[in-house]
Structure 1
């Protein structure tokens, strides 16, 4: 505990952001930073709450609460308060291989479960986490730590996203020789291609990849398992294989007019922009541009918000984001959304904040469904037709969406971006290795064990659990590594 009354004496403080008008002019991270004195004060707000739900990481009635990697949050808050930054870094790395990623892109379920949040504003956990790891790099405390000896065992990891990198880091720590296969031209999976640079600077990702390479992990890019290399070849050549390929198959959206020019899947839009920016600062024009267009983003989640922010930076004429969900309440519903679940309340994400600053209002339309796309005589998208919907319980007890008659509308649009989620992993590897899948086509492997029905093959992250958070992927990658180590050695040195 830092100071017994800190949560009563000090108010929650977040770092300021660059103004929306300024930050949409570039692709740089938009958060500023608190001073060390301000961070110490925020650490002092962490109370002696007896049972700190912030680091539990559990599911409760369909909602998640606490940190999935079980970060030792009260401990490093106290250490920051006492200016013991090196010790805070050690405690942070004990549970999280990549706090520089989660400190930037995690929605912070830990803060939703903070005990102080019951009576006021929660501790600024995520801000402190990022400050600890950033200071660690600045001070030169984060250095390669290769294992002292090798076990002679070889492990292949498929996919270099957060689950794959976490599994590789832990397996390498245990002394195994690890090769990570990535089909893209850069290492990082969705950390590179999937999350825009203004949320996660790709130099931050490369900095960690360089460390992992220096510790002995080998990365093979531009190589897709199941196509460039048969999946069975990995099983034959390695002592274990860990599948962390993510849930990358986009959910189809086949309605009238979906074949029109101007209708695109969100990840094609986002990834093209990211690659072009990293390759040559968008000079090659090899991306889907929203410049001068009325853009409609179909999907109310994080990917949809990233499409909004990217469209603004392209210079769109307007941008609107559709969601089938109703507008969230201003305050947490104590019955449907009780503490310590993450609070489902109305907020403006960074992208909506930017759109509101530029166009004068929240860009989101709630409880809305697109009924068809309409094009011009040349096959170019010109407008979307919609209807409002309401959620009801049908005669079988299912919750379904029902159109509301008389609420039809037409939106002009020259670009529509489909951001309605993913239908699990692509299936080539599963088919080649005869892997069992669940009803959502995810690789079937029991949580906590991660072993599939095929000998030597394990699965973790979104490829196993479906689309989820970066922090859950790191958690599963770490746990899968522990199970692989047990499989290879009969016992494990990994926590």
Structure 2
């Protein structure tokens, strides 16, 4: 068994404080936790186990004026034998008796039963997956039910227990699975709403993002990842084409005024979310047009300028004001901005050239300047031999652009080896396709010149780029030297921030030439000034910058509203839908790319997908969630009995506690402990029952369970509450059947119809379809028992 520290506590307060610590778990009966510790199948285990059984007053069964009160540490064996429970709340006694073997019931508690984690087939048979459970519920990448044995899983679909790996990999945490589901339903309005909630620039990011989401796509473990970028582009273009409807001005004005310094992705993102909240937003940019690097540094063959211009126009349509050609620190000071506005967001980017210190470096050209003045710089230089120093995506942009504008040869020199180059695989393949020579593992030693003009560059072999700690510390072999002839050398080895706009009198904390800002709120050392994007992090990705802008806007909104406390985030509720044939669609649809001979600097290479191709590609998404079923026999009964779960902090209805999310720890705060369960008194004439189907009595978990409460009068149903267990990650209330039964007399026909309605929303896997018929049989049996 895994080693842990066992701590006996005397009070809920003491236990609560301990459970706020990391790697700490509570133990009540111990049948669930100890089994997991013994099996050694989980990736992570608690280092401390807090024993709640030593706390006085947490067990016992009593009745008060409102109904039944059961202490959380009450053993299931006591519930099954208690006279009061058996007479007045028989379904609770039946459920307690149905839990596993007598040995387990003598140890297991009602609190432990309702707080246990969802059980999966693979918990019992971990050897089928290599002996270690690493499912999405436990921090892994997906659900084994999609690729392995799944006959014991949900018939109502999966549920979200955490961010899917695609969303978790995205710096903006876009809810990718959710908007792909809307695309599958042909609901582009719904897809747009979900996408805009986390990314206000999807038409742009879809074209320029490195798409970390695709790297994290769980589908890639089966065959190839879902083409999220192409779907995002389709929805993003739809948004811009319908911007007046999808990006409207706010209905009410807040009266707050915010200045945004810098119109790049971070600034545009902050402006969108601030304006959406009703604030007056003014964006200042020193260039003639807003957009920052999006407008001036990304080639049109990747990001057409008209797309950026349409995005700016859409933001203007919301009421955002753009003051272009205005340089902060020159045309308007930081002191003026701080005085004229309630809050200021700084997102001035990183535009300054990095100097690496080689001989004659002054004769090179900065890659960003080249991209900004590309056509003028290349005029009359056809046939030039160009060397680009750098191995990132910007270096690829520079190299491809130079080649397309008539350079005779283009060579990319990179310190990193081919596999370590920061440019994406797709970008490097694009460069080679266009005839660009890659020289990985070489570093510049000196610029060669003759009679005042560049003649080439001297290189030395780079043995390693980083030291053992992962820090940038290149090591060279000075005995391995190579010279490459060149007329022009373009430097793409990074950019730096320029904070001179702050002036000498505006005090704000800085570190190594960057503004220091909080990672969650983007707030700086000045409480009214926020900052984000490259000016804080240094050169990064567009999606990381827009995520920072959104965080800043959210933090400002919380400050304006006076709600500084972080709201607990729960996974999205409801059952997840997906295309049942998605596993058979093996390959990502190829994008439509302009033929090599037709490519130019000012024409977009990629044509995008057709509407049908977009829907087909969205259909490949697993919509990753958990298919494991809720194992608690007690949970189903408590929902049917309209019970409440009382903790040391608050009280929950059984629906809130059990049906919002499969994981109890998502509901409970750190240090929150279940103390008792309250069940309202049964009404006169009400009948309650519980039954479950399993292969071996007192051993197996339920394959299907049914808890029901019926209030009748003269064989007419006045009210019904039917709750299914072991058919979904949470107990399922059969609301359609309950509504149908109200006012009905019980008959064979009525029972059949109720059973059909109860399972009308089922969406079983092929291997779990047998459960649907069992569930119908249990519901029908519970109803017909009323006539006996």
Q: How far apart, CA to CA, are the structure 1 residues paired with 2:391 and 2:496?
A: 17
Q: Does 1:126 align with 2:237?
A: no
> Offset of 1:150 from its aligned partner?
1.4
- Between stretches 403-412 and 97-106, larger displacement belongs to 403-412
CA–CA distance in 1 between the matches of 2:468 and 2:540?
31
Summarize deviations over 1:387-432 as a string: whole Å, max 9, x none: 1111177799966322224321110101000000023343331644
Contact 2:415 2:465 in 1 (8 A): no
The aligned counterpart of 2:543 is 471
Deviation digits for residues 306-340 of structure 1, max 9, x if unmatched?
101110121001000011111218xxxxxxxxxxx
Residue 432 of structure 2 corresponds to: 356
How far the C-alpha of 1:300 sits from its partner, in A, is: 0.4
2:495 to 405, 415, 422: 422
Shift, 1:85, TM fit = 2.3
Cα 1:139/1:148, change in 2 over 3 Å: closer
Partner Cα distance (2:194, 2:465) in 1: 47
Give the counterpart of 1:265 among 348, 361, 366: 366
Is 2:392 the counterpart of 1:316? no
Change (3 A) 1:300 1:106: same
**Structure-to-structure mapping, 1:213-224, within 5 angstroms:** 213-224=316-327
What's the counterpart of residue 299 of structure 1? Answer: 390
Cα deviation for residue 354 of structure 1 reads 4.9
Does the residue aligned with 2:480 lie in a helix, a strand or coil?
coil
- Counterparts of 1:165 and 1:393, CA distance in 2: 35
- Work out whether residues 112 and 122 of structure 1, in 8 Å CA contact, stay in contact via their aligned partners in 2: yes
CA gap of 1:344–1:229, structure 2 versus 1, over 3 A, is closer
Given candidates 383, 386, 389, the residue that maps to 2:462 is 389
> Paired residue for 1:347?
425
Shift of 1:259: 2.5
Distance 2:385 2:489 in 1: 9
Q: 1:444–1:452: 8 Å Cα contact kept in structure 2?
A: yes
CA contact (8 A) 1:328 1:345 kept: no
Helix, strand or coil at the partner of 1:242: strand
Shift of 1:128: 1.0
2:520 aligns to what?
A: 448
Give 1 or 2 for the bigger CA radius of gyration: 2
Distance, in Å, in 2 between the alignment partners of 1:392 and 1:153 is: 48
1:228-260 deviation per Cα after TM superposition (whole angstroms, max 9, x unaligned): 211111111111111011122221133111123
Deviation track 1:32-75 (CA, whole Å, cap 9, x = no partner) reads xxxxxxxxxxxxxxx98965543444xxxxxxxx1111111111
Residue 193 of structure 1 aligns with which residue?
296
Q: How many Å separate the matches in 2 of 1:345 and 1:153?
A: 41
How many Å apart are 1:493 and its aligned residue? 13
Distance 2:331 2:564 in 1: 33
Q: Is residue 406 from structure 1 mapped to residue 482 from structure 2 by the alignment?
A: no
Deviates more, 1:285-294 or 1:427-436: 285-294
What whole-Å deviation, never above 9, does each CA across 1:249-307 have from its counterpart, x for those lacking one?
221133111123xx10101100112xxxxxxxx5xx36677522100000000110110
Q: CA offsets, 1:81-109, max 9 Å, x none?
A: 23222222222122211111111110000
1:98 aligns to 2:201 (yes or no)? yes
In the alignment, the residues of structure 1 paired with residue 566 and residue 247 of structure 2 have an alpha-carbon distance, to the nearest angstrom, of 18
Deviation at 1:465, TM superposition (A): 1.8
The answer on whether the counterparts of 1:226 and 1:432 sit within 8 Å (CA) in structure 2 is no
Say whether the 8 Å CA contact 1:289–1:314 is kept in structure 2.
Answer: no
Query: Is the alpha carbon distance of 1:200 and 1:173 closer, same or farther for their aligned partners in structure 2, counting shifts above 3 Å?
Result: same
Q: Any conservation in 1 of the 2:203–2:240 contact (CA below 8 Å)? A: no
Q: Quick check: which one's strand share is greater?
A: 2
Alignment of 1:239-250 (within 5 A): 239-250=342-353
Contact 1:290–1:311, Cα closer than 8 Å, also in 2: no
Match status 1:160 vs 2:258: no
Which stretch shows the higher mean deviation, 130-139 or 479-488? 130-139
Which SS does the other structure have where 2:225 is aligned?
Answer: coil
Query: Aligned pair 1:461/2:533, yes or no?
Result: yes
Q: Which residue of 414, 433, 441 maps to 1:367?
A: 441
Deviation larger for 71-80 or 163-172:
71-80
- Work out whether residues 55 and 69 of structure 1, in 8 Å CA contact, stay in contact via their aligned partners in 2: no
8 Å Cα contact 2:262-2:349 kept in structure 1: yes
- Specify the SS of the correspondent of 1:110: helix
2:325 equivalent to 1:234 = no
When normalised by structure 2's length, the TM-score is 0.49
Q: How does 1:199-210 map to 2 (within 5 A)?
A: 199-210=302-313
Change in CA separation of 1:368 and 1:185 when aligned onto 2, cut-off 3 Å: same
**Secondary structure, in 3 states, of the residue corresponding to 1:90?**
helix
The verdict on how the C-alpha distance between 1:345 and 1:137 changes in structure 2, with shifts beyond 3 A counting, is closer
Q: Which moved more, 1:314-323 or 1:77-86?
A: 77-86
| 1:370 Cα offset (Å) | 0.8
Distance 1:450 1:96, change over 3 A: same
**CA RMSD across the alignment:** 3.0
CA distances 1:413-455 after superposition (whole Å, capped 9, x unpaired): 01000000023343331644221112x3210111112111124
In structure 1, the gaps of 5 or more residues are: 9-46, 58-65, 274-281, 330-342
Structure-2 separation of matches of 1:151 and 1:247: 32
Q: Counterpart in 1 of 2:418?
A: 327
Query: Matches of 2:299 and 2:475 in 1, distance apart?
Result: 34
Using structure 1 for the length normalisation, give the TM-score: 0.77
Residues 1:408 and 1:466: Cα distance change in structure 2 (over 3 Å):
same
